[in-house]
Structure 1
Amino acid sequence: MTVSVQPLALPRARPGGPGPLRLAVCAATIAACVPYLTIKIAWLSGSTAGWNDAAAARDSALYVGNAITMGMDAVAVPVALAFTFRWGRRIPAWLVLAPIWVAVGLLAPIVLAVPLGTLLQALFSTEPLTGGEGPVQGWVYGVVYTGFTVQGLGLLAAFVLYARERWADVFTVRTRDVPKGATQPLQLLMARTAGVFAAVFAAAHLFWAFGGTAGLRGDELAHRTVTQQLADGVWGVLALAGAAALLAIVRRRGRPERLLVPLAAAWVGAAATFAWSLYSLLVTLAQPGFLASGTTAAANLTALGGLLAGMLMGVAGAVLLTERQSARPTASSTP
């Protein structure tokens, strides 16, 4: 009599589950949020760790600002999870794209400017890396901006892996193959108008990037660093690149390249121009007696121009992609 031994059946991974790369990117992104959230929770709990000026840490307006920025950073955690696990592909597109668009806009200039600016400042400048003595200690800037840089890279990588599964055709279609729909004249009007505002916004920031001081506040001049000048240059270049890329898409001009290339430039440029302009205006409005404070009309008008440019670029791009998606044949109508 023979006895057959069946091999032990091991549980199989569910099809479509996240691979090791996506899990690693998700874990790194969430881990990068922890230091910033920890600092904000400590400050909201009454701690003055990391502050040179303990009285400034207890300002009521700053308390509200800390709560808002902590909430904004906390959103990165569910967004990273949605980009990693299967349930994220069932979320409505707008609910996924809106937060990542704002996140890319806020984090992309930091990723592009802070590491290089810090290196240049350390090598060629005698100024402290944090721009001198301020209310917050220098180590806080290092922790915060290192975390932001890792977050930006992690969210971008997670979003690309997610988009390749959910909108795979966007990675292969060519710009000239995108059909011109009924809203194409409106898209062209918005793209051209956005280009005018983006040019004004970029001109001001490039002027400040190359050493111009007109329009800057007194406190900004007192703590001006190489990193901040480089950030101004990045904002200016991204605004121009985003406006030019969007116009090329709308007009279907240029080389017969993939839509992905100008779409990525328009996406990042519009997001950065909109998000940082909105943030600048909100910070100005939150200051008590902001009209009598050190704010300048030039800085406020520049931020307003950037807000309009980014908003118009974002709306034009959303209309274009929505129209293209609605024009595609559905699964039931394809052979």
Structure 2
Amino acid sequence: MPAPPGRGRPSAVRLAVCYATIAACVPYIVLKLAWLSGSTIGWNDEEMAEGAAIYAANAITMGMDAVAVLVALAFTHPWGRRLPAWLVIVPIWVGTGLLAPIVLGLPPGLVIQTISGGPAPATADQGGLQSWVYVIVYTGFVLQGLGLLTAFVLYARDRWAGLLTARTRDLPAGATHAAQSFLALAASLPALGYAAVNLYWGLGGTAGLPPGSLDRTVVQQTVTVVWGLLALAGAAGTLALVHGRGGAGRTGRLWVPLSAAWLGSGATFTFALASLLGTLAQPGALAADRSPAADLTLLSGLLGGLVLGLTGAFFLTEAGGGSKPGP
């Protein structure tokens, strides 16, 4: 879709959001560059900083943060509205999926942990890294998540205003509606299983947990609860989108179920994928972080989140041509 006419220099607010987001990415990128250059800064165990798997992981994650910088720029400047939709939607779907559980779970988890007097969320020897690394990295993640989400909302408001202001029931059921209904229902089943297990673990259950995850902090449990809640939101939002079309839905705006489907499917898919790739990359070193129940749960999240996301993509592709603003 071409950029809307009459758009000039971005507003001061959008520029501030953009460059604050980029600033939040800088410490993480600098740290990764240092490690890729051979530095062991922030590591207690220098041997853990070595090896092809760690090098590849650092290169990939640094590249992902570099993409976040480009996405923030695209959301802010006029040239970004002339890019193909998929080129901006896919990275921000993945990015919000990775960052939303941290943004939603880390701050309340820290507050609860502080009030309850539990152990520190990051000890000096956790994963071989020093505690200040976790402070810098996760503070940056929270700021990046807030910044990217804000920039995306402002971008979407300009580029897809007609679709986002529509009511779900005003969108006609298109040619692929039956397929979307089937996919939404089929994907909801593994997503609900993923949600149930994570809620159980997050609320204190231990059956099926990997041996290395039995001793968890309140922060870790809070984030696990958020993973479960987001999976529920993804399934519910996608079902509401698909089954609310053609006059069957309520009068609510499309953006409400769309936001739930977006965040929920993205968070479910990306975390499951990242975790499974981690276990495959270092199966011996991460044996303590694996169990049959955990592997099955991650597989359920991977499949459920992916199909929910694809269903949402089909929905938006079809709805984008026939949407109309609500009254």
TM range (shorter): over 0.9
Q: One-letter code of the match for 1:74? A: A
Amino acid at match of 1:198: A
Counterpart position of 2:189: 196
CA shift at 1:126, angstroms?
3.3
In the alignment, the residues of structure 2 paired with residue 298 and residue 80 of structure 1 have an alpha-carbon distance, to the nearest angstrom, of: 38
Cα RMSD over matched residues? 1.7
Q: Which amino acid aligns with 2:54?
A: L
CA apart distance, 1:122: 2.1
Deviation (angstroms), 1:325: 2.0
1:280 to 275, 283, 289: 275
Normalising to structure 2: TM-score of the pair?
0.92
Show the 5 A alignment for 1:55-94: 55-94=47-86
1:325 alignment partner, one of 300, 307, 320 = 320
Q: Look up the match of 1:118.
A: 110
Query: Is contact 1:37–1:70 with CA below 8 Å preserved after alignment?
Result: yes
Structure 1 stretches of 4+ with a deviation exceeding 3 A read 288-294, 326-329
Match of 1:105 among 84, 97, 100: 97
Q: Deviations over 1:30-79 (max 9, x none)?
A: 00000101111111111111111111111331111111111111110110
- Aligned partners of 1:131 and 1:225 also within 8 Å: no
Match of 1:228 among 220, 226, 246: 220
1:297 maps to which residue? 292
Counterpart check, 1:145 vs 2:134 = no
Alpha carbons of structure 1 residues 290 and 52: separation in structure 2 relative to 1, 3 Å: closer
Which deviates more, 102-111 or 125-134? 125-134
Other structure's SS at 1:75 match: helix
Q: Which has the greater radius of gyration? A: 1
Query: 1:112 Cα deviation (Å)?
Result: 0.4
Counterpart for residue 214 of structure 1: 207
1:274-314: CA deviation from partner (whole Å, max 9, x where unpaired): 11011111111101447966511111110110011111111
- Cα deviation, 1:104-142, whole Å, max 9, x if unaligned, reads 000000000111112221221331221563211111101
Instruction: Identify if the C-alpha distance between structure 1 residues 290 and 133 changes in structure 2 by more than 3 Å, giving closer, same or farther.
Output: closer
SS in 2 for 1:122: helix
Give me the whole-angstrom Cα distance separating, in 2, the residues matched to 1:66 and 1:89. Answer: 31
Contact 2:184 2:238 in 1 (8 A): yes
Query: Are 1:313 and 2:305 matched, yes or no?
Result: no
Displacement, 1:328?
Answer: 5.7
After TM superposition, give the deviation of residue 214 of structure 1 in Å.
2.0
Q: Residue type of the partner of 2:10?
A: P
In the TM superposition, what is the alpha-carbon distance from 1:212 to its structure 2 partner?
1.2
Identity score, percent: 57
- 2:3 corresponds in structure 1 to none
Closer/same/farther in 2, CA of residues 108 and 328 from structure 1, 3 Å limit: closer
Moved more, 298-307 or 56-65: 56-65
Question: Which residue of the partner structure matches residue 147 of structure 2?
Answer: 154
Relative distance call for 1:268 and 1:294 in structure 2 (3 A) is: closer
2: CA distance between counterparts of 1:257 and 1:146? 35
Q: 2:193 aligns to what SS in structure 1? A: helix
Letter in 2 for 1:297: P
Change (3 A) 1:55 1:39: same
Write the distance in 2 (CA, Å) between the matches of 1:294 and 1:319.
35
Asked if the contact 1:194–1:310 (Cα under 8 Å) also holds between the matched residues in 2, the reply is yes
Gap runs ≥5 in structure 1: 1-13, 330-335
Partner of 1:174 in structure 2? 167
TM-score where L is the length of structure 1: 0.90
Asked if residue 183 in structure 1 is aligned to residue 170 in structure 2, the reply is: no
3-state DSSP of counterpart to 2:214? helix
